[in-house]
Amino acid sequence: MAIEGGCYCGEIRYVSKNPAQGQLQCHCRECQYITGGNPNAIMIVPEKGFRVIKGTPASFARKDLERPVTRFFCATCGTAIGTRSPARPGSFIIKIGTLDDPSGFQPQMAIFTIDQQPYHHVPEGIPTHHRRP
């Protein structure tokens, strides 16, 4: 079943023909900027089969980092759509909040808990990692 989603204003739409390879939540400080404070809920899909079908997302990558991730967002409404990471070649990382149906999110692990804030929730029983596994 295809995974579909888009930004808040509807200018950007995407589809992934393939199911998620993984679902996780990221507590890193960077994600806190993107989400407004909470951990990021993300899903990893194969880049092959992932396609933006409407609009062109703007992108941003920090110049001061050696291997920065590239963040894609809607230039009109500001919604963060997802990320391409040098740590995960061949994959696209989708922000769960942009899915048409975000209700099925089930994180398999929590990463970068080194930056976890006291008000961040981690579901019971999932592995946590200070950085990456």
Footprint of Zn ion on this chain (CB under 5 A)? 7, 9, 11, 26, 28, 31, 74, 76-77
Residue 50 vs 73, nearer CB to Zn ion:
73
Residue 4 vs 11, nearer CB to Zn ion:
11
Residue 38 vs 76, nearer CB to Zn ion:
76
Minimum distance from CB of 111 to Zn ion (Å)?
7
Minimum distance from CB of 21 to Zn ion (Å)?
17
Minimum distance from CB of 51 to Zn ion (Å)?
17
Per-residue tokens: 123 = 């579901």
Residue 74 vs 96, nearer CB to Zn ion:
74
CB 6 within 8 A of CB 12: yes
Cα(77)–Cα(84) distance, integer angstroms: 20
**Placement of tokens 């997302």 in the chain:** 57
Shortest CA distance to 70 belongs to which of 57, 83, 89? 83
Per-residue tokens: 105 = 């999110």
Using only C-alpha atoms, the chain has a radius of gyration, in whole angstroms, of 14
Minimum distance from CB of 75 to Zn ion (Å)?
8
